[in-house]
């Protein structure tokens, strides 16, 4: 059988191009047609930006369609409702009210005057435990869950690459941080609007601001709270690369969160407490001052960036050298 001549269209004969699938032959048709017969094509291109966005979209849909994720968001949305109802009853505005005592944090005492304060109270109530726990569950399951289900090796067969897959997992987890925080904020705003009046509000400094500015500060607080969780997301992702058990990764991440917060309350550890990722979490309250105190806010964001860089790098080093065939 004669060899294909230089002018023959690739795939028309019985040479190498004809033996490959049509899709691959079509993709290589340009380079093969322009060079001499028998030249070897260059290395295949990696996945492009559109493919990466498709992978990210697929991860988002997979994460937010899980019943576990929906249950976590449901619990987070219920916390502001329970807090609002409790304050309404305690202040005597509800059917079982018996007069309030005005006890509790400053935000709680302000809820009855302005329902917008329920947003700040709900975020302060969920940030120490509920929000980090939800993030720890999602981050801890990111890699270990795939390994436990036996799908990790098949994900890596696709032209994703380990680094690209790890970045996609982390981006999905940080997206969940934002969504979870906004769920708390929106639930609190809705509950506050239904149970309490809205209008001008008094800042911690004693000045009064309009409802529009207060709403803008509430949005900024929600964004700061979401950013405060990126260190936890990186920590959970790193733990997830250490084991093939999703349950073990989730439990370890949540256990570390609880341990760090306990250590953050021990007076004898004051020297190292400013380096804990949870130490400046409640600094978002400084956004309710006039003027805003930025020192602790910037320290918090800086610490989260350091934790994200350190544990993100550790997760990359572990995952890129991990044997996924075991």
Phi and psi for 151 in degrees, rounded to 5?
-100, -5
The pLDDT of residue 181 is: 96
The pLDDT of residue 158 is: 60
Q: What are the pLDDT tens digits along the chain (326 aa)? A: 444 444 444 444 444 334 333 333 333 434 444 444 444 444 444 555 555 677 788 888 988 999 999 999 999 999 999 999 998 887 764 443 444 444 445 577 788 888 899 999 999 999 988 999 999 999 998 888 888 777 777 776 665 678 888 999 999 999 999 999 999 999 999 999 999 998 888 888 888 889 999 999 999 999 999 999 999 999 999 999 998 888 899 999 999 999 999 999 999 999 999 999 999 999 999 998 888 899 999 999 999 999 999 999 999 999 888 766 55
């Amino acid at each position: 059988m004669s060899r294909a001549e230089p002018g023959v269209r690739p795939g028309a004969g019985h040479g190498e191009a004809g033996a490959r699938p049509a899709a691959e032959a079509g993709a290589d048709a340009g380079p093969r047609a322009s060079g001499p017969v028998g030249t070897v094509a260059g290395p295949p291109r990696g996945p492009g930006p559109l493919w990466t966005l498709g992978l990210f979209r697929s991860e988002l849909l997979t994460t937010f369609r899980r019943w576990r994720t929906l249950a976590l968001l449901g619990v987070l949305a219920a916390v502001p409702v329970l807090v609002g109802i409790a304050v309404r009853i305690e202040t005597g505005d509800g059917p079982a009210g018996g007069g309030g005592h005005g006890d509790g944090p400053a935000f709680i005492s302000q809820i009855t005057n302005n329902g917008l304060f329920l947003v700040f109270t709900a975020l302060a109530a969920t940030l120490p435990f509920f929000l980090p726990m939800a993030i720890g569950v999602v981050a801890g399951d990111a890699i270990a869950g795939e390994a436990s289900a036996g799908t990790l090796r098949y994900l890596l067969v696709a032209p994703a690459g380990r680094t690209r897959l790890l970045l996609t997992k982390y981006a999905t987890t940080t997206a969940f941080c934002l969504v979870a925080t906004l769920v708390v904020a929106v639930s609190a705003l809705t509950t506050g609007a239904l149970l309490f009046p809205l209008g001008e509000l008094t800042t911690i400094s004693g000045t009064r601001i309009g409802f529009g500015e207060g709403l803008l500060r509430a949005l900024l607080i929600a964004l700061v709270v979401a950013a405060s969780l990126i260190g936890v997301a990186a920590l959970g992702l790193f733990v997830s690369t250490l084991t093939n058990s999703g349950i073990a990764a989730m439990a370890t991440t949540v256990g570390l969160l609880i341990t760090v917060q306990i250590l953050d309350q021990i007076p004898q550890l004051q020297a190292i407490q400013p380096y804990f990722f949870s130490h400046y979490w409640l600094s978002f309250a400084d956004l309710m001052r006039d003027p805003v105190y930025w020192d602790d806010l910037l320290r918090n964001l800086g610490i989260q960036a350091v934790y994200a860089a350190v544990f993100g790098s550790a997760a990359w080093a572990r995952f890129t050298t991990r044997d996924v065939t075991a």
